[in-house]
Amino acid sequence: MRLLSSFLCASFLLFMSMMSHMTITSVVSAPHGGTLLIEEVHPEFARMDVEVDPAHQHVHSHISMQEQTTFTSAKAEAESESVKTVSVASATGRLRVKDHWKVSGYAYVSAAGQWSFSNTPVPDQTPVAEASFEDSLPSTGWDVLKLKTTASFPDPQQAYAAGYLEGRLTASRIYELVDAIVYKKKKNDDFINFLNKQDAWLRANVQKEANEKAAAGTPGNYWYLVSLVLSQLDGLLAGTNAALQGKQVSLLDLWQINDDGDLLDIERAVASNKRLQVSAKKAKTKKVKQIKPKVIKAKTVKKLKNNVKLVPKKSKSTSKPKLVKSKLIVPTIIAPKVDDHVVIVGAPRFKAVDDMSRTELLEMIAFNGHCSALIKWTGDDLLVGHATWADYEELMRVYKHITLNFNHPSIKSKHTSMSSYPGFLWSSDDWYMLDSGLLVLETTLNILNDSLYSLVGPEKGVMAWIRSLLANRISSSAAEWANNFSKYNSGTYNNQWLIVDYNKFQKEASQLSAGTFLLLEQIPGHIETRDMTSVLQSQTYWASYNLPFFATTNTKSMYAKFAKKHGEMLSYGKSSRAKIFAREQKKVKTLEDMKRVLRHNDYLHDPVSKGCPGEAIAARHDLPPKKGAKCDITKIKLNGATDAKVTSAELFRQQAAYAIGGPSSDSLPAFTWVQHPQEAKKKPPSQPNTWNFGWTEQKP
């Protein structure tokens, strides 16, 4: 009674304090004191809730407030161990819980097709979709998005509503990421044209199938499923722009962030194909001595019609050079004839692999390779973990729990839990936990054979991120996933995919069932799959670290060739990560062991790392090599392992995992932007300055 009396008294004081007009700014609990201090209430707040649970007896206080009311401060006296929750809720659905915001949203559509949005449920109406977003990135390293659609609505409306709500609730985060990886990293026109053509080609195929199926009176299949992804993307655009004030994003912007994985191969394909085109033209002319291209001053260049430029031509005389029409249409990176000079416009980031030095090649692989992964069979558990590698400005992490209750007969998985990013309809890491029983993850394979990119084009296949979403939704086994993913191979975002079927795993069994683990490797023009359960059984683990395993993919992508030329860093089973995984996996018995391995970087002491911060499971390219170390990569770049996720058989049954955000700091100093003032302009505003968080449990 003393506690309740004290609490009600504090509630009265709080009510009286509402007469003040000073806005306050956070909600803080004092777990070791006896006081809960409410420090911020936004003018839109309509109520404050405080729940106290003394001796398991529930006491709940609800204090109503008038809209637009603000107050200075209030104290609710209670014994610290009895405090259950303290929260402040608003009339528009915003909720402040301890140190982060939580906002909810509901999407509705009328019989006439008119869409509406609300932060709170609308009485007597069924939402097409509902979602909540926790703005916890600054406090835990992860935002959290939970979203589900209503099965009674048509699939296209569900898809659009899912995209719209995600855009509406996370618009500011989406804009920050678009600014970081699109606006600040301009692409050349050939790349942009590729994306525009891909979008048009996809929509044309969707319409073609729709027309054919309508005429036959049968439901659509593959392209119908693609159309749902496009509807979700269109909804994302509408929701994002509805929430942004004074700023807008375009469909092309959203394509660019969702093509984040495919982007590297698209850029390289565009550059490679441009080289091939120019080489073909040159083959028709007589051979002349080649020199490196020189860039002339802008004032000497004059535009003509049809994108032909006037460039100076060398002359034996000392008179002013004449202006002649250049035969080469820019942009180009091919060396021109000795008597011409062309302007290099929009040159790609990468030159031909054969022209790269050893350091350039290893840097391309390290800075553009995504991830380390490990599967460990302990005998009574099947543990899986994954660490993403990326540039640090992309540390805008969102853990998403998405339920799309589509009704199409091919749908076999409706719920996905995945690590992701603002505005990404897919994971990108990749890390998918599916209610079908499949866990899907991958590590990137860079292509070292430029000639393979002749097989890549905007109308030659479906981007990998869309194919992965489709395979997730319509597969109930690892073999089905591989078959569905292999359709319309784009030759972009080439990866080694690991598909684990937890339906096959039995804790008490002495052997793993066939089909428990399947490996898939993709390169342009070729996909290879194999049931690797027996290998997992015999060696008790599988590690993946951006190098191809299958002989065919290894040879065709030319890793075998360059391993002979540049050493074991490009050789499967012999690289630094391969050796560290082989050593450390022996120590894995529990989930805690798995966490430690996925964050492993002890480059200052680990003899395998040889003093090189990038030669570790969780790379830290932002750190300098150990003094005296002879490293293949010495360039300091804000890039490396940016997270880790781990799960077990028991956790997977709950669609749960443990995740940690930020570069590894287990045995190294935490990454902080303050130490890199020249690079700090790349930091999105919502990112914390220092990444030093612990593991958090992520579950629906």
Q: What is the DSSP string of 542-593?
A: EEE-SS--SHHHHHHTTHHHHHHHH-GGGSTTTSHHHHHHHHHGGG--SHHH
Q: What's the structural domain count of the chain?
A: 3
315 and 384 share a domain?
no
Identify the domain boundary among 96, 122, 141: 96
pLDDT at 262 over 90: yes
322 and 384 share a domain?
no
**Closest listed residue to residue 145, CA positions, set 384, 491, 424:** 424
Judge contact between 171 and 253, C-beta under 8 A: no
| Model confidence band, residue 349 (pLDDT cutoffs 50, 70, 90) | low
Question: Is residue 276 assigned to a domain?
Answer: no
Question: Is residue 107 assigned to a domain?
Answer: no
Identify the domain boundary among 45, 61, 96: 96
| Helix/strand/coil for 695 | coil
Question: Is residue 471 assigned to a domain?
Answer: yes
**Closest listed residue to residue 395, CA positions, set 600, 642, 566:** 642
| Model confidence band, residue 125 (pLDDT cutoffs 50, 70, 90) | very high
pLDDT at 49 over 60: no
- Cα–Cα distance between 532 and 554 in angstroms, integer? 17
pLDDT score recorded for residue 297? 40
Question: Is residue 511 assigned to a domain?
Answer: yes
pLDDT score recorded for residue 282? 52
* pLDDT average, residue stretch 641-664: 98
Size (the chain), residues: 700
Judge contact between 643 and 659, C-beta under 8 A: yes
Question: Is residue 618 assigned to a domain?
Answer: yes
Query: Pick the residue with more confidence: 102 or 536?
Result: 536
Q: What percent of the chain has pLDDT over 90?
A: 67
The number of angstroms, rounded, from the C-alpha of 538 to the middle of its chain's C-alpha atoms is 33
Burial 93-119 (b: 16+ CB within 10 A, else e): bbbbbeebebbbbbbbbeeeeebebbb
Give CA angle at 243 (239, 248), nearest 5°. 85
Q: Which tokens in the block code for residue 455?
A: 């097989």
pLDDT score recorded for residue 48? 39
Query: Pick the residue with more confidence: 283 or 272?
Result: 272
16-to-10, 11, 74 alpha-carbon distances in Å: 10, 9, 9
- CATH number, position 570: 3.60.60.20
Question: Is residue 211 assigned to a domain?
Answer: no
Question: Is residue 494 assigned to a domain?
Answer: yes
Instruction: Flag whether the pTM goes above 0.75.
Output: yes
27 and 89 share a domain?
yes
Average pLDDT, whole number, for the chain? 81
Task: Residue 311: give the domain boundaries.
Answer: 290-355
pLDDT at 299 over 50: no
CB atoms within 10 A of CB 403: 17
330 and 450 share a domain?
no
Going by C-beta distance under 8 Å and a sequence separation of 6 or more, which residues neighbour residue 157? 109, 128
- Cα–Cα distance between 375 and 439 in angstroms, integer? 11
Kindly report, residue by residue over 281-293, the tens digit of the pLDDT: 554 544 434 444 4
326 and 379 share a domain?
no
pLDDT score recorded for residue 628? 95
Q: Which tokens in the block code for residue 113?
A: 């097709």
Query: Pick the residue with more confidence: 319 or 406?
Result: 406
349 and 440 share a domain?
no
Q: Which helix (H) or strand (E) holds 231?
A: helix 222-243
Question: Is residue 437 assigned to a domain?
Answer: yes
651 and 618 share a domain?
yes
- Cα–Cα distance between 693 and 16 in angstroms, integer? 39
657 and 523 share a domain?
yes
596 and 558 share a domain?
yes
pLDDT at 489 over 60: yes
Kindly report, residue by residue over 377-420, the tens digit of the pLDDT: 999 999 999 999 999 999 999 999 999 999 999 999 999 999 99
Query: Pick the residue with more confidence: 194 or 35?
Result: 194
> Which residues lie across from 95 on neighbouring strands?
89, 102
| Helix/strand/coil for 306 | helix
- Cα–Cα distance between 280 and 602 in angstroms, integer? 50
318 and 384 share a domain?
no
Q: Which tokens in the block code for residue 418?
A: 């995945």
pLDDT at 426 over 90: yes
The number of angstroms, rounded, from the C-alpha of 675 to the middle of its chain's C-alpha atoms is 25
Identify the domain boundary among 96, 112, 136: 96
Judge contact between 396 and 173, C-beta under 8 A: yes
Contacts of 339-344 spanning 24+ positions with Cβ under 8 A: 339/288, 339/313, 339/314, 340/311, 340/313, 341/293, 341/294, 341/296, 341/311, 341/312, 342/293, 342/309, 342/311, 343/295, 343/296, 343/298, 343/301, 343/309, 343/311, 344/293, 344/295
Query: Pick the residue with more confidence: 295 or 137?
Result: 137
Q: Pick the range with the lowest mean pLDDT from 102-111, 124-133, 182-191.
A: 182-191
308 and 439 share a domain?
no
537 and 625 share a domain?
yes
